Amino acid sequence: METSETELMLKGYGLTTAELFYRMPDYQSVLNSYLWQDYDLAPDHPKLFEFIEFWQREIEGPLHSVRFTHRKLIAPGEWRNVTGEFTLH
């Protein structure tokens, strides 16, 4: 069963974006980059490390480096209970 993005955010997941730099298989002196993005749990980042392991196992271009950032999109202080509504005109 697929979990919605909102449910993941409420469970503490945040958006992780990674830029993977890798060497071209035929031209080892050329670096290329690949962007990866998914909802993941900080600080362990299990989905990111699973993807890196997949890359090392299945992709021919060897990784040079990985740069990533993580942002929680919903924090506990951002929720408010709205009890009223104003209607104009």
- Output the 3-class SS for 1-70: CCCCHHHHHHCCCEEEEEEEEEECCCCCCCEEEEEEEEEECCCCCHHHHHHHHHHHHHCCCCEEEEEEEE
Q: Could you tell me the residue ranges of all domains in the chain?
A: 5-77
Q: Mean pLDDT, 10 residues at a time, over the chain (89 residues)? A: 80 91 93 95 94 96 94 67 69
pLDDT digits (tens, 9 = 90+) for 38-47: 999 988 999 9
